[in-house]
């Protein structure tokens, strides 16, 4: 093979490698879940989420996940939420997964919520059985921790793919908390719900868009 042909092949291989590296960067390293803003009113905001036992689509269809509802009512597979600073935030979570239980029973007590209570299917609740949560919603830097009780293993009409509908078996948990200064606050679930991973703490438990999230306070 003559020299120009060899140079041509090397250049071609270089271009292919570059294109693949670019695809990898765009597809895997820059891909971030969508940011969903809260619905806002004077001095208040509201956020609606659901937790599901299996997301049912995407890269990891069998992973547990959160979803967030946009102000216009569309369910988005994300955990990145934008709320205003120094504001009372009302949260509603539709919890469709079965129980896993808490590793630390301390987390059975809701903390950091207005009034010290959450509402579990409308009932004021100051502590749950540590065996009952399927997930928690916790923002460590705000001292917020909310247990989300699972549905019974034998519940009828369970949801298997998100977004789940209100006609399917679920618990509704509502609570309120106050935001402070602007910033990005990490939030996560503290139930070891990553089935199939070491101690249940891998996979979805370590992945933004599933059981890890960011509260963007602006
Ligand atoms: Cu979880």
Tokens encoding 192: 């070891």
Give the Å distance between the CA of 25 and the centre of ligand 1. 28
Cα 187 from Cα 168, distance rounded (Å): 26
Give the Å distance between the CA of 72 and the centre of ligand 1. 26
Where do we find the tokens 């959160």?
66
Give the Å distance between the CA of 53 and the centre of ligand 1. 9
Tokens encoding 108: 């059975």
Give the Å distance between the CA of 16 and the centre of ligand 1. 40
Give the Å distance between the CA of 65 and the centre of ligand 1. 7
Give the Å distance between the CA of 10 and the centre of ligand 1. 48
Where do we find the tokens 């803003």?
37
Q: For the chain (length 218 residues), average pLDDT per consecutive 10?
A: 88 87 71 93 96 96 97 98 98 98 96 98 98 98 98 97 97 97 98 91 95 98
User: CA angle, 138 as apex, 134 and 141 as ends, to 5°?
Assistant: 165
Give the Å distance between the CA of 193 and the centre of ligand 1. 5
| Amino acid 27: pLDDT | 67
Tell me the residue ranges of DSSP E strands in 88-211: 88-95, 118-120, 123-125, 133-139, 144-149, 171-178, 183-188
Give the Å distance between the CA of 195 and the centre of ligand 1. 10
| Amino acid 29: pLDDT | 66
Where do we find the tokens 């997301």?
55
| Amino acid 170: pLDDT | 98
Give the Å distance between the CA of 105 and the centre of ligand 1. 15
């Amino acid at each position: 093979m003559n020299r120009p042909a060899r140079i041509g092949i090397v250049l071609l291989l270089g271009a292919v490698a570059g294109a693949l590296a670019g695809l990898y960067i765009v597809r895997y390293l820059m891909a971030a879940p969508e940011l969903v803003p809260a619905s806002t009113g004077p001095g208040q905001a509201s956020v609606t989420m659901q937790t599901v036992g299996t997301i049912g689509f995407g890269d990891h269809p069998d992973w547990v996940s959160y979803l967030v509802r946009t102000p216009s009512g569309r369910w988005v597979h994300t955990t990145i939420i934008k709320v205003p600073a120094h504001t009372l935030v009302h949260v509603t979570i539709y919890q469709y997964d079965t129980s896993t239980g808490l590793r630390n029973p301390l987390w059975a007590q809701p903390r950091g919520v207005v009034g010290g209570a959450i509402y579990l299917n409308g009932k004021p609740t100051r502590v749950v059985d540590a065996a009952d949560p399927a997930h928690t919603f916790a923002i460590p830097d705000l001292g917020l921790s909310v247990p989300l009780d699972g549905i019974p293993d034998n519940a009828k009409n369970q949801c298997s793919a998100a977004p789940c509908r209100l006609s399917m078996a679920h618990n509704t948990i509502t609570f309120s908390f106050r935001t402070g200064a602007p910033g990005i606050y990490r939030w996560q679930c503290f139930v070891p719900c990553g089935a199939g991973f070491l101690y249940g703490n891998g996979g979805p438990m370590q992945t933004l868009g599933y059981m890890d999230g960011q509260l963007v306070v602006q």
